[in-house]
Amino acid sequence: MLGATEDGGRLFWGVMTCGKRSRDRKRQVILFILYVCVCQSGAETLRYSLPEEMERDSFVANIAKDLGVPLSQLAARKARVVSEGNEQLFRLNQNTGVLTAKESLDREEICPQSDTCTLIFKIFFENPLQLIRGEVEVRDINDNSPVFPEKEMVLEILEIASPGSRFPLESAQDKDVGINGLQNYSLGPNPHFSLAIGTAKDGVKYLELVLQRQLDREEQAELNLLLTATDGGSPPRSGTAQVRIVVVDANDNIPVFERETYEVRLAENSPLEQLVVRVAATDPDEGSNGEVRYAFTQTSERSRQLFQLNPTTGEIRVAGKLDFEEAKSHKMVVKATDGGGLSAHCKVQVEVLDVNDNAPEIALTSLSASIPEDAPPHTVVALFSVRDRDSGDNGRTECSIDGDLPFSLTPTFDNYYELRTNAALDRERTAEYNITITAMDWGRKRLSSQETIFVQISDVNDNPPEFTQEVYTMSVTENNSPLLRIGSMKATDADAGINARVNYALVRQEGKEQPEVSVNAENGDVYILRPLDYEKVRAFEVTVRAADGGSPPLSAQAVLHIVVRDENDNAPVLLHPPPDSSAAGELVPRWAPAGYLVAKVVAVDADAGQNAWLSYELAKATEPGLFRVGLHSGEVRTARAVTERDAARQRLIVLVRDRGQPSRSATATLIVALVDGFSEAHLRVSEEAPAAEPDGPLTLYLIASLVCVSALFLATAAAAVVAKVRRARRSETENLPTFPTTATESSAGSLPRSYVYDVCFAAGTVNSEFRFLRPLFPCFPAGLPPGPGEQRSSVCSQDAANFGGEGDWTAQVRD
């Protein structure tokens, strides 16, 4: 066992050591680890002693030295001392580790009813939580002298009292205890009395005056004696009282009590003036010698304050507030004195019964004002103690938490409880708790008290941002202005503070061009960086990430789908006739009936929707009533039958218009030649263009063959041409030409139908190639290839007989 003694007190504590401490750091570390292990067992107690009446801030002990804790740990672990009870009697200096008394300690004031005075304190450490119990014994010093209740005691003694008679005297009171308490009495020298000191069963000394020699009133009617009480202190203290003896005439009967001891049980909540007991003494004498009066004697001052004795009736009533916690019993001596001065004594013992009149007291020792929401279950939030000054079941307490909260109470020791978490916390559901702790005793009439603890839950970054939509669709009209705001994306985060601060950014994808869109990092506004072209980009998607400001940050992603709206920024483009030609020529026979297909204007529009819906109309014509144009097909047909009066050369201007707002348009010019046959057409064309040179001997052979057989097959050819023309008109709508890729993909406009020209060859034709020395008019627009399965023919006349008329007609047929 290790014991430490200092000027201010002694330390006794049970830490086993194997020898003296070495200054070697390694041994200090080993001893500190051993001490921590012992401390965590919760069984050690630090014991000190301190004399009373020491000055303020007197040294009690060096806690850091006694515990072997470095001084730096005292402040780091927030070491503090807590005294038991409401008043804090000690102070711990975290810089020096010294425990001092806050005020001068008076043992008689702190422990008035106890021979030993022990003060309990506890030392708390945090991080981790640790509690060490300590005791300070306040040693008594001889600072109080014995005091008699009365400075003068008067005894009336009959002169016939026989030697050996005993007369009780008031005992002196000394607030000190032990050797410093009352030790001895002495009586001044006199010829008649001596002093007898006895000890009762309860250890209380009583004092009696013993008559040694017969009194004689006639010789001496009154005696004055000096009674001295001395304690055992060093130096001793003493108190004195005068004992005045009055010798009275003979009174041969003394009062007699019914009982020697009266025992009463009284509840501590008894009201004032309640009857406790009635003592009664009788005296058979007559007159004044038989009249008995009652008075307290050998009774403490506190008992005299709590109880009142009626001197005439002997009734003892409650005069003050009884407190079981202050004194569990009271002992009084009642003296009955008759008119002749004779007296008798009886004892009254009042046992105070405990009543549940003290509610439990909750004292908060340690509290964590804020705990993180990811704190694991069983995390200690607060430490508190519960004290009930009642006894038995009245002082037995239990604690509970009001409401369904994720906290629980765990008893530790010495009526201490720990408030712990018992479930996972979520700040987003509950950010703070007002925890009401109820302490209730087990008395018949149960008393309780409450303490409310406020606990705030600190945020942890455990929630990623959440977009209000998984896919955001926004639209923008092409040809927009740069940095145009088209909308906003919104993400929320259930966390708080910096953990809820959301930043937006585009997710870059490797291998892809930088998108034409930008997102504001703070508010999620979406901007188009550059003007867009619907004809190049109709829609695109980007991924937007929203990340919070936590560490590490959490994020979420959403898809931003941007649709480009079309604007009527493209005019129709003519495919046939070609826009680079001055005019396109077509041949129409003079016998063409109404509805005869002359040509078809083909145009496309790169826009979409109604911006690309095209309509055709005849804007200008040599003879407006001769031709008409299909509104949606672009087909140019005869509006009536061709007559001889119609001009041989007709000029048509066709207007192609889209339906955009505002609309855009283009014009096509057609030259139509009204001919009676292919020869006439050939002659007219030959006048305008030089003839092509022959293409070798093969051409000459072919021309000669055509001339020879033309006359023989004239009738057959005419019939065949009529049949073919009818069949061609039926199949006009079946075959469509193949247009350029850009036109078919970017336009919803009308496409031209194919023109089919059938040529009948005379029998005996042995060569598959026919070439016109100069084509009259092409049957397909420039740059427009024939469709699948179709044949290209430069023969535009439907009169087969003309094939044999001239030697400069050649034709080429390709599969």
What number of other Cβ atoms are within 10 A of residue 29's Cβ? 10
Q: Is 232 in the same domain as 206?
A: yes
Q: Is 115 in the same domain as 188?
A: no
Q: What is the pLDDT of residues 482-494, one digit of tens each?
A: 999 999 999 999 9
802 belongs to a structural domain: no
Position with higher pLDDT, 108 vs 260: 260
* Burial of 86 (C-beta count, 10 Å sphere; 0-12/13-18/19+): exposed
The H or E element that residue 438 is part of is: strand 432-441
Instruction: For residue 296, give the amino acid letter.
Output: F
* Res. 769 pLDDT band, cuts 50 70 90: very low
Of 392, 424, 458, which closes a domain? 458
Containing structural domain, residue 307: 256-353
pLDDT at 693: 44
pLDDT at 472: 95
18 belongs to a structural domain: no
Using the predicted structure, report yes or no on whether residue 225 has a pLDDT greater than 90. yes
Q: Number of folded domains in the chain?
A: 6
What number of other Cβ atoms are within 10 A of residue 361's Cβ? 16
Q: Is 174 in the same domain as 226?
A: yes
Residues 254 and 165: beta-carbon distance below 8 Å: no
Q: Is 560 in the same domain as 470?
A: yes
Q: Is 497 in the same domain as 558?
A: yes
814 belongs to a structural domain: no
Give the tokens for residue 490: 């919104």
CATH number at residue 609: 2.60.40.60
Using the predicted structure, report yes or no on whether residue 547 has a pLDDT greater than 80. yes
Question: Which residues neighbour 124 within 8 Å (Cβ) at sequence distance 6 or greater?
Answer: 78, 79, 80, 81, 82, 130, 131, 365, 366, 383
Which range has the worst mean pLDDT, 448-452, 588-592, 603-607, 734-738?
Answer: 734-738
709 belongs to a structural domain: no
SS3 610: helix
- Check the CA dihedral 412-417-418-424 and report its sign: positive
Strands (E), 261-405: 261-267, 275-278, 281-282, 293-297, 307-309, 315-318, 329-337, 343-353, 361-367, 370-372, 380-387, 397-401
Question: Which residues neighbour 524 within 8 Å (Cβ) at sequence distance 6 or greater?
Answer: 488, 489, 490, 491, 502, 504, 544, 546
Q: Is 242 in the same domain as 260?
A: no
- d(CA 600, CA 781) in angstroms, rounded, equals 10
Please give the backbone phi and psi of residue 461, each rounded to the nearest 5 degrees, phi first: -75, 85
The distance of Cα 52 from the centroid of its chain, to the nearest Å, equals 53
Position with higher pLDDT, 712 vs 509: 509
411 belongs to a structural domain: yes
Please state, rounded to an integer, the average pLDDT across all residues of the chain. 78
- d(CA 312, CA 199) in angstroms, rounded, equals 30
Q: Is 370 in the same domain as 439?
A: yes
pLDDT at 113: 67
Of 458, 486, 502, which closes a domain? 458
Residues in the chain: 815
Using the predicted structure, report yes or no on whether residue 91 has a pLDDT greater than 50. yes
The distance of Cα 109 from the centroid of its chain, to the nearest Å, equals 52
Instruction: For residue 309, give the amino acid letter.
Output: L
Q: Where are the alpha helices (DSSP H) in 6-118?
A: 25-40, 63-67, 71-76, 107-110
- d(CA 585, CA 116) in angstroms, rounded, equals 136
Give the tokens for residue 636: 């140019």
Q: Which DSSP state fits 498?
A: G
- d(CA 379, CA 457) in angstroms, rounded, equals 13
Q: Is 441 in the same domain as 496?
A: no
> Which of 94, 100, 39 shows the shortest CA–CA distance to 72?
94
Of 458, 493, 528, which closes a domain? 458
Using the predicted structure, report yes or no on whether residue 616 has a pLDDT greater than 90. yes
Q: Is 272 in the same domain as 290?
A: yes
Compute the C-alpha angle 588/591/597, nearest 5°.
45
Q: What is the pLDDT of residues 663-706, one digit of tens each?
A: 899 999 889 998 986 444 444 444 444 444 444 455 666 676 67
Q: What is the pLDDT of residues 159-193, one digit of tens each?
A: 788 899 999 988 888 888 888 888 889 999 999 99
For 646, half-sphere exposure in the C-beta direction (CA atoms, 13 angstrom radius) is 27
145 belongs to a structural domain: no
Tell me the β-bridge partners of 439. Answer: 399, 449
Residues 373 and 460: beta-carbon distance below 8 Å: yes
601 belongs to a structural domain: yes
Residues 276 and 265: beta-carbon distance below 8 Å: no
Starting at the edge strand found earlier in the chain, the sheet holding 432-441 runs: 370-372, 448-458, 432-441, 397-401
- d(CA 431, CA 436) in angstroms, rounded, equals 16
Identify the top-confidence range among 140-149, 595-604, 689-698: 595-604
Give the tokens for residue 646: 């119609």
Name the one residue in this structure whose structure tokens are 């809820």: 500
pLDDT at 415: 83
Please give the backbone phi and psi of residue 732, each rounded to the nearest 5 degrees, phi first: -65, -35
Q: Is 330 in the same domain as 422?
A: no
- d(CA 534, CA 539) in angstroms, rounded, equals 8
* Res. 730 pLDDT band, cuts 50 70 90: low
> Which of 744, 815, 737 shows the shortest CA–CA distance to 783?
737
pTM over 0.75: no
744 belongs to a structural domain: no
Using the predicted structure, report yes or no on whether residue 18 has a pLDDT greater than 50. no
DSSP 644-683: TTS-SEEEEEEEEEE-SSS--EEEEEEEEEEESSHHHHHH
Name the one residue in this structure whose structure tokens are 């030089």: 690
The H or E element that residue 746 is part of is: helix 741-746
Q: Is 373 in the same domain as 411?
A: yes
Give the tokens for residue 519: 């997102």
Q: Is 578 in the same domain as 594?
A: yes
Using the predicted structure, report yes or no on whether residue 13 has a pLDDT greater than 60. no
Residues 188 and 200: beta-carbon distance below 8 Å: no
